[in-house]
Amino acid sequence: MKQMYPKNGRVILHVDMNSFYASVEMAYDPSLRGKPLAIAGNPEERRGIIVTCSYEARKFGVKTTMPLWEAKKLCPQLIIMRPNFERYRAASIGMFEILGNYSDLVEPVSIDEGYMDITNSYAHGSPIEIAEMIQRRVIEQLDLPCSIGVAPNKFLAKMASDMKKPMGITILRKRDVPAILWPLDVEEMHGVGKKTGEKLRSLNIKTIGELAKANDMTLKMALGINGKRLKDKANGEDNRPVDPEAAEEFKSVGNSTTLPRDISNQKELHKVLKELAEKVSIRLKRKKVLATGVSITIRYKDRKTITRSKKINNPIQATEEIFTVSKQLFQKHWNGNSVRLLGVTGTDLVEQGHAVKQLNLFNFEKEAKKEPLYHTLEKLREKYGSKIIENAAALSDIQKKQANIGTSTSFNKDFLQINRNNDKE
């Protein structure tokens, strides 16, 4: 079997769940299968934007980010459901658990996609056999469809997984690039967005093949350092490793909300800030980090948007601390006009173990009283490991619920049970 793997190169898989949110809802409620389904914000509010939709809905022209009113016009029988992120996170954990059975090198890219380096996974079979096993297990255990790209690098694996949806497995080799990728419009290339596509077309670069042969200096002047990187990828070159730690490299944690109506009442706006601060606090605790800065975003009814931030001497994580700084920033920079959107973000994050608190005259006594507890905890960690005692808030909701209901041999049953319990609460 080892002979089916390259001697010097790598074998990378990109696993991409198909219409993920909608597929999870169908797995949870089979009566939705075969029907046009869209996951969207509150239909009664302005957040009525399509987050994702089933393939049945796409046949009517319904697309992601489309306003809800437009989607309903195209497909009057469209079923609209609000997002259930707890359910989606549970399914995501199940998916990545399956991937981890075939390689230690798994890099999550988002909740519904990830890369795998299976170069040394030949004990499980050939690359195509591993891809088929993963696809089959995701269907059997989670009742969810996925597409998989098989390639020598991350870029080609990503391009390959997009070629056959749903439930496709596509192999894309470097020697296939001229025939398969080069004829495509440049906007179809992963990493080329609308604005980059417009810049490339202004240079008379319309296809991936033309990008692959473009002048380096011309690309650098138009796109900076990203120009050469895109050209390399257009030629099938990508040396980025699959890095399981890459998902941990984040610099900020934030939440924002579009208000159900334009609000100018200060008390109501403070309440929204408090709710956002609480969400940011929960996410910081789950990631086991603290913020050394806080920023807020205010969007007025005329869509004018401002962002203001503040550095903090003492790293913070608690809701009240985040709310206090957010409120100060808001009071200082709000012009009194009606607000359409508010956002709160914790920035310049540091790991809990590396956070240093600057004690002052007022908090020294309070912290000193906790010192015996800290000392005892440290001794326990030294003896039994750093994870022997953790703050309960650091656990995800899923972990807490799994601890309560016990484990299950089938993750599909597990995450469905979790959310049925939620429905009863």
Distance of CA 268 to the CA centre of its chain: 30
Residue 249: DSSP 8-state: -
Q: What is the pTM of this model?
A: 0.62
CATH 3.40.1170.60 positions along the chain are 20-85
CA angle 322/325/326 to nearest 5° reads: 80
Instruction: Give residue 276's pLDDT.
Output: 95
Question: Which residues, 6 or more positions from 335, have their beta carbon under 8 angstroms from its beta carbon?
Answer: 300
- What are 364-422's pLDDT values in tens digits? 445 455 556 555 655 565 555 544 545 544 444 444 444 443 333 333 434 443 333 33
Instruction: Give residue 43's pLDDT.
Output: 57
Assigned CATH class of 20-85: alpha beta
Q: Is the peptide bond before 166 cis (omega within 30 degrees of 0)?
A: yes
Ranges assigned E (strand) in 18-99: 37-40, 50-53, 79-81
Instruction: Give residue 86's pLDDT.
Output: 82
- What are 71-101's pLDDT values in tens digits? 999 999 999 998 888 889 889 988 999 999 9
Catalytic residue, candidates 25, 56, 107, 113: 113
The tokens for 406 are 């016990």
Q: State yes or no: 112 annotated in a binding site.
A: yes
Assigned CATH class of 182-234: mainly alpha
Q: State yes or no: 348 annotated in a binding site.
A: no
Residue 97 falls in the annotated catalytic set = no
* Beta strands at 252-263 and 169-171: parallel, antiparallel or unpaired: unpaired
Parts of the chain with a pLDDT under 70? 42-47, 246-251, 353-425
CATH 3.30.1490.100 positions along the chain are 250-358
CATH 1.10.150.20 positions along the chain are 182-234
Instruction: Give residue 376's pLDDT.
Output: 63
Spatial CA neighbour of 138 closest among 166, 97, 90, 110: 97
CATH 3.30.1490.100 fits 250-358, yes or no: yes
